[in-house]
């Protein structure tokens, strides 16, 4: 782990321990850290059974916990200065402390799958920006799952943990997300991205190319519309797959799409074109990285952005301004929006020697274009969720 990552985590641990003692009058017995994530390429493909290439990043949600003898779960979210508690015997939504529905949902999903859970006291703290599309909520879910798992001595592997957290989000929180976020947060590896096959749930490790920096630029435009538009996109993809007579758009090759796109209405055609071509781009991007062709990888990132902007229509003025500022810089290999869209972050692959200058310039040009002040993070690909010793 590099020293900055360690310093960031150390600071979170110190805050969490101190707050735990203040809140509950004793020290936590366990610290669990779950990273945020960024997706390099393969956007809106996961719920089409397709391919994605995310990496976990060195920003974390930290859970400090201690077991209880009863079935109570008490939560103190430090960053919201908020408390919530529930009984494992009757897990309900908390409309007032809606942040706690992620923890509640995970407990609900674990219990629905037949796991017996012990109660716990917890403090939650993090430095994954909230609402920026870096999956702070999936990090909360996965950290909560590993905390319950460890306190209750449950054997649950990383893929199953990701699936249970996705179930929590789909069925308890009510957001129909795919598997990408929970998967990479569960199974991420330092200095690697994961090529995930969202149909068979297998993965291959793909090293982040040496000499390149992974830079995340937060537009500071909080994501509006995202839930409703996200669900609409899913329906549009399902309609496309039904018309083309396949279980999922994963099953449509670019050649078949070109031959049959005339059967689709205009909106469905655009959505399907994005997904079909994006899947092909992910596979080509991984091949390019394996061959050391970072320039080609970057071109595919750029093409992904254009497709998300024009065909999938999930970008926004701020994301476009950030990507265009990036494209103008020296040393940039590729830049695109990342995550669900409608605000949030861009991901950039930049030659290492140009990274600092890139960060300064992009921020200036973005502010000039939008009047907003962005946040720029030079990231390291990190390990997935873990118990800190």
CA-to-CA distance for 378 and 368, rounded, in angstroms?
21
**Closest by CA position to 44, among listed 169, 133, 145, 144:** 133
Give the three-state DSSP class for 375. strand
CA gyration radius, the chain: 21
CA-to-CA distance for 287 and 66, rounded, in angstroms?
45
Query: Residues in the site for ligand GLA, rule: CB under 6 A?
Result: 43-44, 46-47, 177-178, 180-181, 339-340
CB of 166 to ligand GLA, least distance (A): 8
Clarify whether 265 is annotated catalytic: no
How many other CB atoms are found less than 10 A from the CB of residue 310?
Answer: 12
* Closer Cβ to ligand GLA, 53 or 88, answer by number: 53
* Closer Cβ to ligand GLA, 5 or 279, answer by number: 279
* Closer Cβ to ligand GLA, 24 or 102, answer by number: 102
Contacts with 81 (C-beta within 8 Å, 6 or more apart), sequence order: none
CA-to-CA distance for 51 and 55, rounded, in angstroms?
13
* Closer Cβ to ligand GLA, 31 or 241, answer by number: 241
CB of 46 to ligand GLA, least distance (A): 5
Contacts with 331 (C-beta within 8 Å, 6 or more apart), sequence order: 350, 351, 353, 354, 355, 357, 358
CB of 373 to ligand GLA, least distance (A): 24
CB of 198 to ligand GLA, least distance (A): 9
Q: Which of 46, 49, 58, 181 is catalytic?
A: 181
Active site residues: 181
């Amino acid at each position: 782990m590099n020293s900055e990552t360690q310093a960031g985590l150390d600071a979170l641990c110190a805050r969490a321990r101190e707050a735990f003692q203040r809140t509950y009058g004793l020290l936590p017995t366990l610290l669990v850290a779950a990273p945020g994530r960024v997706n390099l390429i393969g956007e809106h493909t996961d719920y089409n059974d397709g391919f994605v290439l995310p990496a976990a990043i060195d920003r974390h949600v930290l859970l400090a916990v201690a077991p209880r003898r009863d079935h109570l779960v008490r939560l103190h979210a430090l960053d919201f200065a908020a408390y919530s508690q529930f009984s494992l015997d009757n897990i309900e939504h908390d409309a007032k402390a809606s942040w706690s529905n992620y923890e509640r949902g995970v407990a609900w999903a674990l219990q629905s799958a037949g796991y017996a859970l012990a109660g716990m006291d917890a403090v939650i703290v993090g430095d994954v920006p909230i609402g920026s599309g870096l999956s702070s909520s999936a990090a909360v879910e996965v950290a909560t799952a590993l905390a319950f798992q460890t306190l209750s001595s449950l054997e649950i592997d990383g893929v199953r943990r990701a699936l249970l957290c996705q179930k929590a989000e789909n069925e308890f929180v009510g957001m129909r997300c795919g598997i990408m976020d929970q998967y990479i947060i569960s199974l991420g590896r330092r200095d690697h991205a994961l090529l995930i096959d969202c149909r068979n749930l297998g993965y291959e490790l793909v090293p982040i190319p040496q000499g390149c920096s992974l830079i995340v630029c937060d537009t500071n435009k909080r994501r509006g519309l995202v839930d409703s538009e996200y669900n609409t996109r899913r329906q549009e993809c399902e309609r496309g797959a039904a018309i083309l007579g396949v279980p999922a758009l994963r099953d449509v090759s670019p050649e078949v799409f070109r031959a049959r796109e005339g059967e689709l209405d205009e909106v469905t055609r655009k959505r399907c074109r994005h997904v079909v071509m994006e899947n092909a781009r992910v596979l080509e991007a991984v091949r390019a990285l394996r061959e050391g062709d970072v320039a080609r990888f970057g071109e595919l990132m750029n093409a992904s952005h254009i497709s998300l902007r024009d065909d999938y229509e999930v970008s926004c003025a701020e994301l476009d301004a950030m990507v265009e500022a990036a494209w103008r810089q020296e040393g940039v290999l590729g830049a695109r929006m990342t995550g669900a869209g409608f605000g949030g972050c861009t991901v950039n692959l930049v030659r290492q020697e140009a990274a600092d200058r890139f960060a300064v310039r992009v921020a200036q040009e973005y502010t000039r274009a939008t009047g907003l002040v962005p946040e720029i993070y030079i990231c390291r690909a990190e390990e997935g969720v873990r118990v800190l010793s």
